[in-house]
Amino acid sequence: MKIASLFLSLLVLAAPLRAQPLPGDSVYHLQASTQAADGQPVAWSSLRGQPRVVSMFYTNCHLMCPLIIENAKSLQKQLTSAERKRLGVVMVSLDPARDTPSAMQDVAQRHRVPDGWRFLTPAADDVRAIASVLDVRYRFRDDGSINHTSVLVLLDADGRVRARSEVTGAAADPQFLTQVKALLAGP
């Protein structure tokens, strides 16, 4: 009975939190559709509610994108178990024509990413808009590769950009790690 009362109290208290309007600088104001690696549709705005590290990449990349993934993995490894549970990691495709659910699953398996990572492929018309709100610049090259900003973006639960790291490599950026930990330590 006590558990049921506690559960009902939490539901009542949580409802107003979800109903709060987004802050003006939230990236989740963008109305964009994506597809998860399991093929299910995911509204961009549905990512609200959890701090996240977000980056953009493409599956056919063989240099920088694998480093971005390894960098995010390294960052996550330096968090406590409780911090890892609070932080979501989202990899967003720059190349929806080639980044099918199967290609996204292959990358996740090849890099042995931890459970809970989300690999999202936006609709072709939404790639530029998502890149814009994350301040990721990119351009397609004649050889099929994509020049793009190699960045990890830290978003708070409401989708406000709290930090960015353009440090690439297998080791996490210590300054960015400090900012992630500070955000996760907050309310």
Give binding residues for Cu cation as ranges: 61, 65, 148
Residues 33, 41 contacting (CB under 8 angstroms): yes
Task: State the burial class of residue 91 (Cβ atoms within 10 Å of its Cβ: 0-12, 13-18, 19+).
Answer: buried
Q: What share of the chain is helix, strand, coil (3-state, %, to 5)?
A: 40, 20, 40
Antiparallel, parallel or unpaired: β 161-165 and 33-36 = unpaired
116 three-class SS: coil
Binding-site residue positions:
61, 65, 148
